[in-house]
Structure 1
Amino acid sequence: MSTLPQAIYPVVDVAQWVDRLGRAGARFIQLRLKDKPAAAVVAEVRQARQFAQQWGVCLVLNDYWQIALDEGIDYIHLGQEDLDTADLAAIRAGGIRLGISTHSHEELDRALACKPDYVALGPIWETRLKKMAFGPQGTAKLTDWKARIGSLPLVAIGGITLARVKPCLEAGADCVSAVSDFILHADPQAQVEAWLAATRSAGVQPQHG
């Protein structure tokens, strides 16, 4: 059965967060870069990769699949719109693992046809970080998704806070992801430790990808 490196999955917007959260014990971190020139993206990715190597972090790059290939990143995460243009054969040939966002049964079917290494469902709760075409999915949909995908890892994202970690895992998620609950927290390092403790209390064992 495929597994993910860890049951928590912070999403960050600059490379420096890979250092801070990796130092605190996070081992599965997505770098999500938006609206940056290509040269700036490459610079951030290279710095993030250095921090990831330092702390044993499995690094995920959002959207920029060609840069992920060029720079030897562990995972690429694609949205549904990215599937229109991404070269999935090149991604596979490059040995990069693949995660795909889903929001509906149709999108899940499309994602599964791409043979991803995990699928993400969201937003589970309302989120204000970005405008979403889909409303809150709720934890019951996690249970539905898990029944459909079986052993394929399921990531829950969208509006997830520390108090919501355990309900997501109990509903069927294998991994819980968040942006603001880490990078906007007063003590991000302590928050990583608290999320890890919450996964342990939910009975999630450490994973190795």
Structure 2
Amino acid sequence: MRGKNTNNRDYKDTIFVTNRKLVKGDFLERIKYLSGFSPRAILLREKDLSEEQYKDLATEVLKICKENNIPLIIHNFSKVAKELGVRKIHYSFSKLEKEKIDKSFFEEIGTSCHSIEEANKAVECGADYIFAGHIFQTDCKKDLKPRGILFLQQMVQKTNIPVWAIGGIDDDDTRKRMCLNAGAKGVCVMSYAMNKEL
């Protein structure tokens, strides 16, 4: 079921990041639900899948995204992105370092960074934006200390491309505002988006 934005919040500065293992019901129904909030984009992460499995899932997710005019971001699989005509891709940092970036096809290339050094390297490799995290405590990384708002501010100040905050961000506007006030382009939400009502 397509979600209805009854809380009157603006999700144009929010990227929903998927993890189907966190979804309690049907994954594609969850994508339909999230699309009702008109986010900036949906990043189909699902990094445990083979390329073939990922393509099958991406094909279905892309249909939903197109129906709702939501941009889809492919994770790592550049071949899949090209076959499906998706011009936005997000690489893991290690993949970005090795990948031959096709700027002639991709209109937006991103990666995830955990240090200023990685952020600078990402820029050198051709990234158009970065995810910086994890900013707040999150169940996905219970044993790791969050890097915090000061880290986010430093990433923004020392990087000349947009920085998106990720990690421990829920539907409470307080954390989102903290990230935006620190200079982030927007926020990324995974755990909360996968199993909570917005």
Q: What's the TM-score, normalizing by structure 1?
A: 0.77
Q: Report the counterpart of residue 101 of structure 1 in structure 2.
A: 112
Counterpart residue type for residue 139 of structure 1: I
Instruction: Determine what percentage of the aligned residue pairs are the same residue.
Output: 26
Q: Report the counterpart of residue 168 of structure 2 in structure 1.
A: 159
Taking the aligned partners of 2:39 and 2:12, their CA distance within structure 1 comes to 8
1:168 equivalenced with 2:179 (yes/no): yes
Change (3 A) 1:46 1:130: farther
Deviation of 1:84 after TM superposition, in Å, equals 3.8
Q: Report the counterpart of residue 55 of structure 1 in structure 2.
A: 68
Counterpart residue type for residue 16 of structure 2: P
Instruction: Note if contact 2:51-2:77 (Cα within 8 Å) is conserved in structure 1.
Output: no
Change (3 A) 1:131 1:98: farther
1:37 equivalenced with 2:50 (yes/no): yes
Structure 1 segments, 4+ long, off by >6 Å, are none
Q: Report the counterpart of residue 147 of structure 1 in structure 2.
A: 157
Deviation of 1:24 after TM superposition, in Å, equals 2.8
Higher relative contact order (Cα pairs below 8 Å, separated by 6+ residues)? 1
Change (3 A) 1:131 1:85: farther
Taking the aligned partners of 1:67 and 1:121, their CA distance within structure 2 comes to 25
Counterpart residue type for residue 92 of structure 2: G
Taking the aligned partners of 2:35 and 2:168, their CA distance within structure 1 comes to 22
SS of alignment partner, residue 135 of structure 2: coil
Change (3 A) 1:33 1:123: same
Counterpart residue type for residue 175 of structure 1: G
Gaps of 5+ in 1: 192-209
Report Cα offsets for 1:136-188 as digits up to 9, x if no partner. 211112211211224x2210001112231111111111110111111111x2x
Instruction: Note if contact 2:165-2:184 (Cα within 8 Å) is conserved in structure 1.
Output: yes
Report Cα offsets for 1:77-117 as digits up to 9, x if no partner. 112111243221x3x12134101111112101110102322
Q: Report the counterpart of residue 201 of structure 1 in structure 2.
A: none
SS of alignment partner, residue 93 of structure 1: coil
Gaps of 5+ in 2: 1-10, 21-26
Deviation of 1:118 after TM superposition, in Å, equals 0.9
SS of alignment partner, residue 188 of structure 2: strand
Q: Report the counterpart of residue 17 of structure 2 in structure 1.
A: 11
Taking the aligned partners of 1:73 and 1:167, their CA distance within structure 2 comes to 32
What is the alpha-carbon root mean square deviation over aligned residues? 2.1
